Amino acid sequence: MPTFSSDNAQIHYQTFGDASHPALVFSNSLGTKHSMWQAQIDAFAQDYFVICYDTRGHGQSSAPQGPYTLAQLGQDVVHLLDHLNVKTAAFCGISMGGLTGQWLAIHAADRFNAIVVCNTAAKIGQAQAWLDRAALVREQGLAPIASTAAGRWFTENFVQAHPEVVAELSANLGSGSAEGYASCCEALAEADVREELKAIKVPVLIIVGAQDPVTTVADGEFMQQRIANSQLVSINASHISNIEQPE
Segment 134-151 shows an average pLDDT of: 94
pLDDT, one tens digit per residue, over 209-222 is: 999 999 999 999 99
Kindly tell me if the per-residue pLDDT of 208 is higher than 90.
yes
| pTM score, whole prediction | 0.97
* Distances 6 to 21, 75, 180, 241, 242 between C-alpha atoms, Å: 25, 8, 15, 29, 27
Kindly tell me if the per-residue pLDDT of 1 is higher than 90.
no
User: What is the model's pLDDT at position 85?
Assistant: 97
pLDDT, one tens digit per residue, over 4-56 is: 999 999 999 999 999 999 999 999 999 999 999 999 999 999 999 999 999 99
pLDDT, one tens digit per residue, over 51-101 is: 999 999 999 999 999 999 999 999 999 999 999 999 999 999 999 999 999
Residue 228 DSSP symbol: T
Segment 96-122 shows an average pLDDT of: 98
